[in-house]
Amino acid sequence: VVFMALTGAGEQLELTVVGQLLGADGVTATSAHCAWKISLPSGWKLVSGALGGESQLDTPMQKGSFVWQHPIDVCLQGDCNDGWPSLQLEVRSVDDFALSNPVGYSIEFLPSNPGSHLIQCPLWRPQGTFLERLGARLVSGTLQLKDDKLVLGLHDVVSAEQHDAEKQQQSARLVRSFGDRRMTTVGAGTVSLLLYACVRKAKFRTRPLQHDDEVADRPT
């Protein structure tokens, strides 16, 4: 893996990712938008850009095929031995009453190899029991997760909060409340991403990053 060859123990990497949240196919909705969030492992930090955002609402003529072309631009710094940043996606539909309901979730690691990456992210949603599905139908809604941290997976929920003891305890309670049950999911479509990544050894700065030199400091 490229990023393992670039750094040794304790050395910092700078990961720059720019691109677009292109759209989605196979989503059961007439109108939909997508919220995204980058999850950082302990020891990683944001250098510039945004860790989350939300696309515009698209109402396509072709049912199930959505175009967003929403920009993603972020620069991160951290040690790959602590883990690798991931991108969480949540696609939501909007009905005739302007109610927004989640119709699919997905998670993908950010690219670790330099270059362009066309990524297809499979969406899923919880299937639930018959009574849960019936209850959701009665209120014109869809089944959704109790906590969006569950997108990370039950085994990774607690480790994702190692830097915050209070959040770690909350996550541990969430996992215990789930017990030994396995979540049953169904496919909900696919989200397309076009991302360009650059990975290099981090340069430690002697002063805070200024707006005027942000572009100059970016890798080319």
Q: 53-111: per-residue pLDDT in tens?
A: 999 999 988 888 999 999 999 999 998 888 899 999 999 988 777 778 888 899 899 99
**Binning pLDDT at 50, 70 and 90, where does residue 155 land?**
very low
Cβ-in-10-Å burial (0-12, 13-18, 19+) of 215 comes to exposed
> What are residue 165's DSSP bridge partners?
none
Q: Distances in Å between the alpha carbon of 214 and those of 49, 115, 139, 209?
A: 10, 21, 48, 7
Q: What's the CA dihedral at 143, 176, 122, 135 to 10 degrees?
A: -10
Could you tell me what percent of the chain has a pLDDT over 70?
61
| pLDDT of 184 above 80 | no
Neighbour tally for 171: CB within 10 Å: 23
Q: Strand, helix or coil at 36?
A: strand
pLDDT at 58: 93
Q: Which two tokens stand for residue 5?
A: 């060859």
Cβ-in-10-Å burial (0-12, 13-18, 19+) of 21 comes to buried
**Binning pLDDT at 50, 70 and 90, where does residue 129 land?**
low
pLDDT at 24: 95
b (16+ CB within 10 A) / e for 153-162 = eeebbbebbe
Please give the angle made by the CA atoms of 113, 19 and 148, to the nearest 5 degrees. Answer: 90
Residue bearing the bigger pLDDT, 150 or 65: 65
Let me know: does 183 contact 128? Beta carbons within 8 Å.
no
Neighbour tally for 220: CB within 10 Å: 5
Q: What is the largest CA-CA distance in the chain?
A: 59
| pLDDT of 46 above 90 | yes
Please give the angle made by the CA atoms of 124, 125 and 130, to the nearest 5 degrees. Answer: 140
DSSP H helices in the chain: 2-6, 130-138, 154-157, 165-178, 214-217
Mean pLDDT of 171-198: 72
Mean pLDDT of 183-205: 84
| Residue 165 phi, psi dihedral angles, 5° rounding | -65, -40
Dihedral sign for Cα atoms in the order 52, 175, 153, 103: negative
